[in-house]
Structure 1
Amino acid sequence: MVCQSPSSKMWVSLVSLLPLVAFALALPSKDCEHKVKEVIVPPRGWTIFGPAPPDHLIKLRIGLPQSNFDVLEEHLYAISDPYHERYGAHLAKEEIEELVAPHPDSVTAVNGWLSSHGIQEADIGRSAAGDWLTIRVPVQLVEKMLDTKYHIWKHTASGEYIVRTTSYSLPKDILDHVELIQPTTMFGTFKRLKSTIHSISKIDPQIQAQNLPPVFDSATGLTVDASCNTTITITCLRQIYNAVGYTPSAKVGNSIGIAGYLEDYANRADLQTFFADQVPAAAAVNATYNFVSVVGGLDPQDPAEAGAESDLDTQFAFGLSFPVASTFFSTAGRPPFIPDIGTPEDTNEPYTDWLDFMLSHPNPPLSISTSYGDDEQTVPESFAKRACAGFAQLGARGVSLMVSSGDGGVGDGDPDPATQECITNDGLNRTQFIPGFPASCPFVTAVGGTILFPEQAVDFSGGGFSNYFSRPSYQEAAVKGFLSKLPKGTYNGLFNPNGRAIPDVAAQSDFFRVFIGGQAFHIGGTSASSPTFAGFVALLNDGRLKKGLPSLGFLNPLFYSKAKSGFNDITVGNNPGCGTEGFNATVGWDAVTGLGTPNFAKLLKLVT
């Protein structure tokens, strides 16, 4: 039985909750024993700025245990294995929701607990499967519900503020009926993944292109314009990845999407300028993208508000895949909470809002890229695993999800031991490589970075091994081979040799010619490689759909088996960080460029 407050029957909807909170908290309540659900050590770099304002509103997300996720996972691996008889037999939205729906006992128990705090059904948002509950409540009520204390925390390096706690508890009667509650202990802010080394630089229009002979790569047998070694365009990518002359269709039900966050907006005028510069067929018909607002995401078209990340993502993903139906998802939320402007509500966690929306979407895009993430250790393991389960649900529906592997090499991008910042958050302050999330989720395709032609690994390419997720079976042979070639004792204790390995694949990631606010810029980072790879996946889906085959869906089991010969093996370069030179690119899979970069023509034959 859930602990009850004698005031629960007197309370009204949370619409009028704020004036009653002080009264409600003062009422006597039945003694209720709480037990700790989660506790963390504050992540390095975050310090307490002050107490959280009592009336500060928190969008509290309560995750109920997904009763049959293990069954869903079995389905996912069966339909993603190219040698399985069920390959490509993706599940329907309703089938997935049935598998992840919580047990009725959990629903009843949590409903009773919420009711005891005056929270009525009308105040609760429920996911399509009922496995996530969302309520908006002031800090002082959350503190009572979770027997905890919230503070404003400040990040020393960035100056960002968030409202969080380092532990929370639940009544013992519902402890096993709740998997996690956030925002509580999550200090990750899912920043844009642009390299701080090769970031954004304006292109000088006065510089004349040099008339150099084309470059030939004996390993791939491909010839590429010499200009591609200084500026990456759609033409360059099609040449480098053997897709010249391939024309996709707009009539086979194909689709591609880009996830945008943190008030970074795509600009249609910039897309038109880009098309005029690089995709004349799209410019000729004034092609554009479909805009979808997620929980109030905006679509301003003022050139001054054009976002570098969103312009990069949409221009290259949609430019490569034109005329495939394209969608830009703008999710509301801003990165920092500013404690001194009186903002009553924290809005810096849009990532899960996007995932909720996509899981409820009747027809999500078949190829999706997101270029946002954070250090794995800033994301509580419970949250990382639950979000990862959401990605698995998308994969089971036939969606391929690409994510950037990160821009810090094996951690902070710094090879100098004297200045490295790769310190664990477990209170032991050990030096350790820092993998990124969501790249570390085994149900996404993590995309690392390359540079130049012939290609080599770019030094900021995120790579390494997860501390949360064990190595999936589809990676076992490839990663064991890589580990067996490492010199004995190399980096002992710096990474988890049994973890999910990052990245899976790679693509060009520097000197991308992007138009922002009407002007041309060079942009670098794995935030470029992920939408690039997503564009080529959309072309592969085009080839399958033309033949009446289903979309590729979750890619990794295919890539590590039947399709591994469709990648260009990258064997030059490394990804320094954490006071080391990082890992080396080598023959076969490596923790810098994964399986390598796509050879589209080869992959197309392998998947059709």
Structure 2
Amino acid sequence: MRGILQVLAICSVALAAPSQLERANHVVHERRTAAPVGWVQSHRADADHIIPLRVGMKQQNLHMLEDLLMDVAHPDSPTYGQHWTPERVADFFAPSESTVSSIRTWLSDSGIAEDKVRLSPNKGWIEVNVTVATAERLLDTEYHVYKHPSGAKQLGCHSYSVPEHISDHVEIIKPTVHFNHRVSEDPTRLRKRANPNHLGQPFSGQGPKTNGAKIDAAFSLANCDQFITPECLRALYNFSYTPVATAKNSYGIVEFTPQAFLAPDLDLFFQNFSSTQIGQRPTLVSIDGGKSPSFNFNGESDLDLEYAMVLTNPQPITLLQTGDLVEGAGFDNWLDAVDASFCTFQGGDDPNQDGIYPDTLPGGFNQPESCGIVKPPFVVSVSYGQDEGTATHPYAIRQCNEYGKLGLLGTTVLYSSGDNGVAGFGGVCENSKGVDAQGARAIRFNPGFPGSCSFVVSVGATQINPGATVNDPESACEQVIFSGGGFSDIFSMPSYQATAVTNFLAVHPPPYSAAQFNNSGKARGFPDLSANGANYVVAIDGQFELVFGTSASSPVVGSMITMINDARIAQGKGPVGFINPAIYSSNFAPAFNDITTGTNQGCGTVGFTAVNGWDPVTGVGTPNFGKLLPLFLGLP
């Protein structure tokens, strides 16, 4: 297998080095402090091995992206809702001709034939296939193969450099330092993951079992503290709405192969909670060979689709099934499919993180990459993530900017905030150097990505306290999982949350030092809002199980935003798009249930604490749909 499941390496100082003069003109562009926990440098990469070198060029006007988003997304803006066309987005942010020319000249002067260099359709990436030896010479680096006790391997480098005169033209080069490969957790643990890359799957605990017979009598509003069902969610969030503009509306759910739904599971869920939907299926959009069903990993897909389909019925749901069974996919792959300007078939995807297509391996998707094959749905929910520390700054920033561009197009992108409180996947924290670590030195909080990106809606988790009812206040989720939240080590505080986050830090200062989290007062705080994430009744592999996680919260919030879009479309208006500037505004505050109890422990601490107003546990709170709907309907 290639891509996210196999290809790997890490750089240091090249043996096949450039001349002393060439080296003197190079400046370090990206550097990784150390390999993640468990990985050991094995051996030098084969000098003759061919790698697809991809140069991500510096885009124009990105410094304006946040302001442009505020123009179309802030409720007080006179241009609210005036979303851009894809053509306008692509043209506005494309690299300059001088940038393209400078990088082409660099490669040509380095001995690479011009006919071997290709430019992506949006002029954002340059691709050239080179040997490891050539890449080491170009980047003044050294590639190694790293191994993990699980048997996984990865190719990459510890750092790389570029000539000083082109450094301002380069955003990122792959494959290099982007050590995003993650291995599966101990299979004896209950926590199941979608794939070895740890792109998140819900915690599946012990719950009610069934042989397929109707068991609706076992679930009611009286026991929502034990069993969350669609009826419980409607009662919790005042969520009652029947869509009328389904033909013009759209809601997408992203799944990464091998995670896939089972049709009998959907019908079992429908039989008990929405019998008129028996036989209904999501509209499949196969991205890079994505297929359904799978018989190995079904929990996440079953959860997302069962609740999204019932809560928005009869709205058709678009399933963005991403990656083939051979190498799978990463976040860039689904972004390629919904935005042709981001599509990187001719350069850009990260072999260490993403599926690289066409896939010529036996059984692989041996066709052109799925580039711009589907219009971005108005709402997209993604219940997957990675530790922010496993992504370099250029990689994370480049991807985050793409979410901002989708916001300009009118799409709401939601990501679950994580299930380990202030820790990363598997409870892993960071050391003083900001890399995954274990033991006494692992004291630094480990924020999650893409939930920490300023241009996505990060969704945390709450719970109905044991013995409480749907009419009682919820608390931060502390059953089985802890709501992911904290402060980014990469992204600065966006203007839309400055008042809320600054107030939290001033009135409720966390009892931790700068050694434990980014306490600069200038960092992006997350999550943005929350929804219940405990005790979900989900049909998985022919039986009901209880599922916990922000993986459940995200599609629920996505369902509410989709219904708000339906009501706006029915009035001749457009979708709400990027909702963060609105939900942080003072006028929208009454539309959220403020969560004031609970913590998100991790890294040997209780984590942060839910308090009045925004907090890095539950955000601004949980939505009250009945109050939120008229506020959005009142906007242009």
TM-score normalized with structure 2 length: 0.79
**Change in 2 beyond 3 A, CA 1:173/1:372:** same
Query: How many Å apart are 1:400 and its aligned residue?
Result: 0.2
Which structure 2 residues correspond to residues 589-604 of structure 1 after superposition, within 5 A?
Answer: 589-604=614-629
Is 1:205 the counterpart of 2:230 in the alignment? no
For the aligned residue pairs, the C-alpha RMSD in angstroms reads: 3.1
Gaps of 5+ in 1: 1-24, 215-223, 336-346
Match of 1:475 among 482, 488, 497: 497
Residue deviations 1:55-96 (CA, integer Å, cap 9, x gap): 655444321111112234322111111001000000110111
Is 1:42 the counterpart of 2:34 in the alignment? yes
Contact 1:254 1:542 (8 Å CA) reproduced: yes
Match of 1:434 among 443, 446, 468: 446
**Change in 2 beyond 3 A, CA 1:350/1:211:** closer
Contact 2:41 2:144 (8 Å CA) reproduced: yes
In structure 1, the partner of 2:170 is: 178
**Change in 2 beyond 3 A, CA 1:145/1:297:** farther
Gaps of 5+ in 2: 1-14, 182-196, 341-371, 465-469
Which structure 2 residues correspond to residues 363-378 of structure 1 after superposition, within 5 A?
Answer: 363-378=375-390
Classify the secondary structure of the residue corresponding to 2:567: helix
**Change in 2 beyond 3 A, CA 1:493/1:55:** same
Contact 2:290 2:324 (8 Å CA) reproduced: no
Contact 1:66 1:99 (8 Å CA) reproduced: no
Partners of 1:325 and 1:57 in 2: how far apart?
44
Residue deviations 1:363-383 (CA, integer Å, cap 9, x gap): 210100112211111111111
**Change in 2 beyond 3 A, CA 1:318/1:420:** closer
In structure 2, the partner of 1:163 is: 155
| Amino acid corresponding to residue 255 of structure 1 in structure 2 | S
Is 1:247 the counterpart of 2:271 in the alignment? no
In structure 2, the partner of 1:494 is: 516
**Change in 2 beyond 3 A, CA 1:523/1:57:** farther
Is 1:228 the counterpart of 2:219 in the alignment? no
In structure 1, the partner of 2:534 is: 510
Contact 1:125 1:134 (8 Å CA) reproduced: yes
In structure 2, the partner of 1:191 is: 198
Is 1:315 the counterpart of 2:306 in the alignment? yes
Query: How many Å apart are 1:51 and its aligned residue?
Result: 2.9
In structure 1, the partner of 2:555 is: 531
Deviates more, 1:308-317 or 1:420-429: 420-429
Classify the secondary structure of the residue corresponding to 2:555: helix
In structure 2, the partner of 1:144 is: 137
Classify the secondary structure of the residue corresponding to 2:76: coil
In structure 2, the partner of 1:329 is: 320
Partners of 2:163 and 2:251 in 1: how far apart?
44
In structure 2, the partner of 1:386 is: 398
**Change in 2 beyond 3 A, CA 1:139/1:269:** farther
In structure 2, the partner of 1:350 is: 330
Contact 2:428 2:446 (8 Å CA) reproduced: no
In structure 2, the partner of 1:278 is: 273
Which structure 2 residues correspond to residues 543-562 of structure 1 after superposition, within 5 A?
Answer: 543-561=567-585, 562=587
Classify the secondary structure of the residue corresponding to 1:605: helix
Contact 2:459 2:553 (8 Å CA) reproduced: yes
Query: How many Å apart are 1:406 and its aligned residue?
Result: 0.8
Classify the secondary structure of the residue corresponding to 2:339: helix
Deviates more, 1:561-570 or 1:250-259: 250-259
| Amino acid corresponding to residue 179 of structure 2 in structure 1 | F
Q: How many residues align?
A: 549
Query: How many Å apart are 1:32 and its aligned residue?
Result: 4.2
Classify the secondary structure of the residue corresponding to 2:337: helix
Classify the secondary structure of the residue corresponding to 2:162: strand
Match of 2:486 among 458, 464, 476: 464
Partners of 1:202 and 1:567 in 2: how far apart?
30
| Amino acid corresponding to residue 473 of structure 1 in structure 2 | S
Deviates more, 1:99-108 or 1:272-281: 272-281
Partners of 2:117 and 2:305 in 1: how far apart?
36
Match of 1:153 among 143, 146, 161: 146
**Change in 2 beyond 3 A, CA 1:400/1:329:** same
Contact 1:100 1:129 (8 Å CA) reproduced: no
Partners of 2:107 and 2:268 in 1: how far apart?
52
Query: How many Å apart are 1:582 and its aligned residue?
Result: 0.8
In structure 2, the partner of 1:86 is: 79
Query: How many Å apart are 1:166 and its aligned residue?
Result: 1.0
Deviates more, 1:510-519 or 1:436-445: 510-519
Classify the secondary structure of the residue corresponding to 1:242: coil
| Amino acid corresponding to residue 527 of structure 1 in structure 2 | S
Match of 2:431 among 415, 423, 434: 423
In structure 2, the partner of 1:9 is: none
Query: How many Å apart are 1:425 and its aligned residue?
Result: 3.6
Match of 1:259 among 254, 261, 265: 254
Residue deviations 1:190-210 (CA, integer Å, cap 9, x gap): 623246xx4344632389989
Partners of 1:321 and 1:281 in 2: how far apart?
13
Query: How many Å apart are 1:135 and its aligned residue?
Result: 4.7
Query: How many Å apart are 1:569 and its aligned residue?
Result: 1.0
In structure 1, the partner of 2:362 is: none
**Change in 2 beyond 3 A, CA 1:155/1:444:** farther
| Amino acid corresponding to residue 164 of structure 1 in structure 2 | G
Deviates more, 1:263-272 or 1:386-395: 263-272
**Change in 2 beyond 3 A, CA 1:253/1:136:** farther
Partners of 1:334 and 1:137 in 2: how far apart?
27
Partners of 2:118 and 2:606 in 1: how far apart?
50
Residue deviations 1:279-310 (CA, integer Å, cap 9, x gap): 22322xx322121222x2321435x2452222
Residue deviations 1:202-231 (CA, integer Å, cap 9, x gap): 63238998989x9xxxxxxxxx80232222
Contact 1:262 1:350 (8 Å CA) reproduced: no
Residue deviations 1:332-369 (CA, integer Å, cap 9, x gap): 2679xxxxxxxxxxx57622122222222462101001
Contact 2:339 2:375 (8 Å CA) reproduced: no
Partners of 1:488 and 1:247 in 2: how far apart?
43
Contact 1:49 1:153 (8 Å CA) reproduced: yes
Q: How much identity, in percent, do the aligned residues show?
A: 37
Deviates more, 1:247-256 or 1:48-57: 48-57
**Change in 2 beyond 3 A, CA 1:488/1:523:** closer
| Amino acid corresponding to residue 490 of structure 2 in structure 1 | Y
Partners of 1:329 and 1:119 in 2: how far apart?
38
Is 1:575 the counterpart of 2:594 in the alignment? no
